[in-house]
Chains A and B, each alone.
Chain A
């Protein structure tokens, strides 16, 4: 079995009286392709926010690559190798598609401020390398022809792909995708599934994704954790989760989800 990359133990987050995340345990091994599902408001996004330092935890521990990350700033956690996308797309709307990806590389830029201003050879070398890498990433997600468009002007599906490219630019070993298929048509969703699989198979990334499109999650993820009201109610392979009575109950309780994502065909 491969190396453990993320270990979450007893992670708890309370907003006032609301337990958004309640004693979450979760372990990911390098190369895992895992899913985190649950009805709306179950606390999935909050888990991502806790892992990436956007929200402070009430209790619990998170160790990423063997290092405790709770309490670190978002940018520090990112530089340890945790990249993410946002459910409510948060691109740098006024910047170009290419610039959005280039920003992703900035955190790891080695050239100093002065060498960037005076375009010293060290900076120019790095700039060339980064530009080439950015072009590769855009090609990977299929946005190479839109590099000079304003990010805010892209279609939703394309914006989600750009978010992935930008996150990849930060050089992650663990990629957290928050509803990457939301707003995509079936064709785009199928392409996205192919992309995520390539990220894992070819680039060796570990992926944890949140998604409402059950067909997408069930066909893509090898391991699924189901949250409801902040608590894990089931975990296992797609088959195990699909037939779990607690999961069926949770999704039936939230009637809308069933029709939307074909959650359960038990």
Chain B
């Protein structure tokens, strides 16, 4: 079951007939989002701004990751490496030279990095490119293998990046990490700007001829190859596109938390993203986005269960960690009742939403 199957209004009109209307609806959706963000910024506290930023970053990370794992069907476990790369590159490029000198006490930062000081936008693009380049290099080894082996190799590479970050004292400051990364006051707008662009690019990509080719590789790699698709380069395309977006999102993550160290980019980061894309529905971009929001905010809403409360006259003391128990139960329920995730392999579309809304009463 997926949402798409629970609310299935029957055949939808072909996409090309409603393209103009859908465009305006999307535009209105973006304006509504902007209004919401403005509301969060003005009315809610710094904590909610922080959470909203985090949700946006996770949205980008998860939907990018979904391009590789869900759409192309390549079970990669390397996104922590991409996020780490983006975070370090952005931080090193945007921190003031004096601040960097304060950080690197054991060993000075290598030369060009020690004096470079770039504006955030440029730094983010460079971070994206550097991460994409790293993915490109990794791809040559990674895509020699498939399936479980691919998972193992990418898991290994993710760990390698962390070890490198731990030991390249002169570049990453080793286990000490980087502190005093400039805090971005309007991070909300950067993050959600990136989120909108990323989601636009990714959904367009998934629907394009290239996206079809990626899905074909997921369905049957050999058949795709026999139909004239250069499987290796298409996997590379997905991998580097993902890396570019995750590198930028990693950069924004660093600007949000202002302190990074290698221990932040362990397998657990990958694991969180994996949960998100599985819950959203492997292969669905909008599903990944929806799940990213649900899981980041859901974790916060679930905090109520850890507070002391009175149940049927009994006063129950707050149980720390209860949140994770409930979270796990919810995940299990999701896997039992919605085995293909919230949206399965399908995408959210205005055509679908309007058809659901306009259908009155239960299905005959």
Contacts and interface: CB of A to CB of B under 8 A. Distances in A.
B215 A107 contact: no
A148 B12 CA distance: 10
A103 interface: yes
A107 B228 contact: yes
B226 A84 contact: yes
B204 to A, nearest CB: 5
A96 B205 CA distance: 17
B199 interface: no
A74 B220 CA distance: 14
A106 B228 contact: yes
A93 interface: yes
Interface size class, chain B: 20 to 34
Interface string A73-100: 1110011000010100011111100010
A127 B11 contact: no
A103 B229 contact: yes
A119 interface: yes
B205 A117 contact: yes
A106 B233 CA distance: 13
B216 A95 contact: yes
Contacts, number: 97
Contacts of A79: 228
A92 B219 contact: yes
B210 A116 contact: yes
Contacts of A93: 219-220
Given A102-B209, A127-B209, A107 B227 contact: yes
Contacts of A148: 11
B212 interface: yes
A75 B226 contact: yes
B92 interface: no
A119 B204 contact: yes
A26 interface: no
B235 to A, nearest CB: 13
B115 to A, nearest CB: 34
Interface size class, chain A: 35 or more
B200 to A, nearest CB: 9
A123 B226 CA distance: 24
Given A74-B225, A103-B227, A94 B345 contact: yes
Contact of A113 (B212, B224, B237): B237
Interface string B341-364: 000010000000000000000000
B52 to A, nearest CB: 27
A78 B226 CA distance: 6
A92 B209 contact: no
A166 interface: yes
Interface string B182-208: 000000000000000000010011001
Contacts of A84: 226
Contacts of B205: 116-117
Contacts of A105: 209
A153 to B, nearest CB: 14
A203 interface: no
Contacts of B204: 116-119
B183 to A, nearest CB: 33
A90 B210 contact: no
A206 interface: no
Nearest to A163: B223
Contacts of A34: none
Contact of A167 (B215, B220, B227, B237): B227
18 contacts: A73-B225, A75-B231, A78-B228, A90-B223, A92-B216, A93-B219, A94-B345, A95-B212, A95-B216, A103-B224, A104-B227, A106-B213, A107-B227, A117-B208, A123-B208, A127-B209, A170-B227, A170-B228
Interface of B: 11, 201, 204-205, 208-210, 212-213, 215-216, 218-220, 222-231, 237, 345
Given A92-B224, A103-B213, A105-B209, 8 more contacts: A54-B222, A74-B226, A78-B228, A90-B222, A92-B219, A95-B216, A113-B210, A117-B204
